[in-house]
Amino acid sequence: MKIYDILIETKAGEFLTHLYKYAMFLGTVIKAAARGPYYFNEVLEQLYQIGYRSLSIVSLTGIFTGMVMAFQTGMEMSRFGAKSYIGTVVALSLVRELGPVLTALVVAGRVGAGITAELGSMKVTDQIDAMRAMATDPYKKLVLTRIVALLIMMPLLVAVADVLGILGGLLIATANLNVGYELYKTTVLEALLMDDLVSGLIKPVVFAGLIGTIGCFLGMSTTGGTKGVGSSTTLSVVLSSISIFVFNFVMTKIFFLISGPL
């Protein structure tokens, strides 16, 4: 048996094989983006499906995260007479980490899984082959439109989650912790710097790329009928979630090195 065959049969070899196929998939998507035609109506449809229809769950995630953050930190800080810093903790935690990460996880579970299931179903029922037979590039019409819509909507969804989270923290701070509105607003505005806002908007763009490409790649690679669709959908959520945590750590480290000590 050749060394190549032995390598492929190992878990490491299987991982490298899938990684190579993913890289080739990314190359195909980039090539598709470099030439027309472009399906703007399909992009608008995906903006609605991905953005507007995710707004409710993202809003609930943001506002309740802010409320929990304010309540937990406020109860602990009150022991040391530091309740005035609740706004600072809530704002920085949401904008830097919790807003982008939690929103991305919610979108991965809702949108990423949906993309994989939809494309996977089309793949196993030969609809994608039928598109090719009709001279329609499935990468342009199905894959690129969804990735573009994710790249546009994810930062907006994160911004909504951040704002609502800060407002949720304000509600708890004023109603339960006796922190004045003006004090909370002042600490929030003083805590947030341009570096925080930039990092809080770069992260969702990267997460959107991960969710979109992983979801589309697994959907376009689905085999094995309906059982394969279910497996690909589950794997899409798992891989997207792991990738979000890994890339979040890497980007946090990079931003810290760029901006210096906090």
**pLDDT tens track for 11-36:** 666 777 878 888 898 888 888 888 87
In this predicted structure, what is the pLDDT of residue 246?
Answer: 94
Taken in order 53, 120, 149, 98, the sign of the CA dihedral is: positive
Residue ranges of domains in the chain: 1-35, 39-259
Query: What average pLDDT score do residues 133-140 get?
Result: 85
Q: For residue 6, name the pLDDT band (cuts at 50, 70, 90).
A: very low
Q: How many CB atoms lie within 10 A of CB 18?
A: 14
The whole-model pTM stands at 0.88
Residue 176: φ, ψ to 5°: -115, -25
Is the model's pLDDT at 89 over the cut of 50? Answer: yes
Q: What is the largest CA-CA distance in the chain?
A: 74
